[in-house]
Amino acid sequence: MVEKITVGLGENSYPIWIGAGILERLGEALQSVKFPRKVAVVTNPTVAGHYGERVLESLAGSGFIARTVVLPDGEEHKNAQTLMSIYDELIQGGFDRSSGLIALGGGVIGDMTGYAAATFLRGIPFAQVPTTLLAQVDSSVGGKTGINHPLGKNLIGAFYQPRLVHIDVDTLATLPPREFAAGMAEVVKYGIIRDREFFLWLNDRREALKGLDPGSLITAVMKSCQIKANVVEIDEKESSLRAILNFGHTFGHAVETLSGYSEFRHGEAVAIGMIVAARISQELGLCSQEDVDALRTLLLSFDLPVEAPRFPLDDYLDAMGRDKKVREGVLRLILNRGIGDCEIRAVNDPRKLVAAALTSEPR
């Protein structure tokens, strides 16, 4: 059984296929969106070992001609050098504007493949086949593509929508527990910013989710993707509303940057960032201590970190000052209003608020 969601963006609209055991239907799904026949499957060694053969068989069975491009694994490789290696493979393989790319892997693979597709020959089609929970519920949907710079995360990139997102929750069975937990941070985020009932559902179903119950996973992924699709349809290129999807990310990206992109998984950094954002919200009277505690408890139940590493305050502020949501030198923070709502607030001098959030002790 396949659940389908459409991201409605006019001529850039595309379907999201969600199910358990549907990887073998990838070729069929690509045919349904008239995807180019000559494709490059961009992946990493770990994912290729688990799913590469099955994907290639599905593609061949539907008449696609596929070449595999294997990139090194890890956020530290999400850079210009690795991106150039994708271009090298495409040029050497004779790829042209009637070709396409398929991202098979997590968020790093998806972001880099999407950016390569956006820029190779000024744009060729690509599809997302996310195999991590974080990619399934967040990075594969919405068309954000890019690479990191040593001074900041995702500072170089483009908005470029995929033709298809194909999500098989069975791929989560081979995901290390730490990576699954990192994905749950993004799932929790949707409940905090948009849907209190979903937040409460996650509390009720946390053991089933951690046990990889297929029905629970499909529901969580569908709800997350639908919330994100609804926001992206209103604001595709993050001129206003879409920024709320970055709840916890401003501080989280600072954690990743200061840690050299290697100590914390993205979702772990976002979990820490959500607690900092919630503490700032409490300082401003937008949420209660009980709301902060509820968020902290749920994140901890999914084995996520909730306390910030001890970097100097000035280092945090400098990293946050390079955030993409800065406008004319003013930082805009995404702050939760209780559980299930949020707002975007410009903060001229974040020092006092960030300092207070970092010194707050759990009660």
CA distance 39 to 147: 22
Which residue in 286, 270, 257, 262 sits closest to 347, CA to CA? 286
**Any catalytic annotation for residue 149?**
no
Annotated catalytic residue: which of 163, 189, 223, 228?
A: 228
The structure tokens listed for 174 are 């081979």
Catalytic one of 166, 246, 265, 268: 246
Can 242 be counted among the known catalytic residues?
Answer: yes
Instruction: Let me know if 236 is a catalytic residue.
Output: no
Catalytic residue among 238, 256, 279, 296: 238
Binding positions for Zn(2+)? 186, 249, 266
Catalytic residue among 34, 122, 310, 363: 122
Please give, one letter per residue, the 3-state secondary structure of the chain: CEEEEEECCHHHCEEEEEECCCHHHHHHHHHHCCCCCEEEEEECHHHHHHHHHHHHHHHHHCCCEEEEEECCCCHHHCCHHHHHHHHHHHHHCCCCCCEEEEEEECHHHHHHHHHHHHHHHHCCCEEEEECCHHHHHHHCCCCEEEEEECCEEEEEEEECCCCEEEEEHHHHHHCCHHHHHHHHHHHHHHHHHHCHHHHHHHHHCHHHHHCCCHHHHHHHHHHHHHHHHHHHHHCCCCCCHHHHHHCCHHHHHHHHHHCCCCCCCHHHHHHHHHHHHHHHHHHCCCCCHHHHHHHHHHHHHCCCCCCCCCCCHHHHHHHHCCCCCCECCEEEEEEECCCCCEEEEEECCCHHHHHHHHHCCCC
The verdict on whether 228 is a catalytic residue reads yes
Catalytic residue (choose from 25, 144, 223, 296): 144
Binding residues: 73-78, 107-111, 131-132, 144, 153, 171-174, 186, 249, 266
Catalytic residue list contains 166: no
CA 273, CA 173: separation in Å to the nearest integer?
Answer: 27
- Verify whether residue 206 is a known catalytic residue: no
Residue 294 token pair: 């509820």
Residue 3 and residue 229 in contact, taking contact as beta carbons nearer than 8 Å = no
Tell me if residue 144 is catalytic.
yes
Kindly name the residue from 25, 189, 194, 253 that is annotated as catalytic.
253
Instruction: Write out the binding residues for NAD(+).
Output: 73-78, 107-111, 131-132, 144, 153, 171-174
User: Which of 163, 189, 249, 296 is the catalytic position?
Assistant: 249
| Active-site residue (options: 25, 189, 242, 279) | 242
- Give me the active site residues, please: 122, 144, 186, 228, 238, 242, 246, 249, 253, 266
